[in-house]
């Protein structure tokens, strides 16, 4: 569990640094008409993830998969509706980072 918490914190710091380095424009999804669809899809992914956590119990790798899917949903919406801001580049890099950390977690959990 400590690995998961530290991974989420590290991914958050990496995302913050990438936003500061790459982005010059401050536009966000909240300023678009599609913000409700973005929030709805995020809530659906979180609900499905929580249900899976309750069904599968100790499967901590599901948290990593959930993070990867959430970053992917955000990247898709940012690419569709905020393409000129290049925010999707940061989100896609976060998809890759969370996917790598999830794979490391799965490999660590294998007997």
* Band of pLDDT at residue 30, cut at 50, 70 and 90: low
Buried-state track 11-41, b at ≥16 Cβ within 10 A, e below 16: beeebeebeeeeeeeeeebeebeeeeebeeb
pLDDT digits (tens, 9 = 90+) for 4-25: 677 777 877 887 777 777 666 6
Looking at residue 98, its pLDDT comes to: 84
Q: Rounded mean pLDDT of 32-45?
A: 82
pLDDT digits (tens, 9 = 90+) for 72-106: 888 888 888 777 777 788 888 888 888 888 888 78
Distance CA 30, CA 54 (A): 31
* φ and ψ of 32, to 5 deg: -100, 165
Which pair of tokens denotes residue 85? 């801001």
Looking at residue 102, its pLDDT comes to: 82
Share of the chain above pLDDT 90, in %: 0
Do the beta carbons of residue 42 and residue 72 sit within 8 Å?
Answer: no
Q: Rounded mean pLDDT of 38-66?
A: 80
């Amino acid at each position: 569990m400590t690995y998961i918490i530290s991974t989420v914190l590290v991914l958050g710091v990496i995302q913050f640094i990438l936003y500061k380095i790459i982005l010059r424009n401050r536009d966000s999804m909240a300023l678009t008409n599609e913000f409700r669809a973005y929030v709805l899809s995020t809530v659906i992914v979180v609900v499905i993830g929580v249900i899976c956590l309750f069904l599968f119990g100790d499967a901590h790798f599901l948290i990593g998969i959930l993070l990867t899917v959430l970053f992917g949903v955000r990247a898709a919406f940012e690419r569709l509706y905020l393409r000129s801001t290049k925010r999707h580049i940061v989100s896609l890099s976060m998809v890759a980072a969370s996917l790598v950390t999830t794979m490391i977690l799965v490999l660590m959990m294998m007997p």
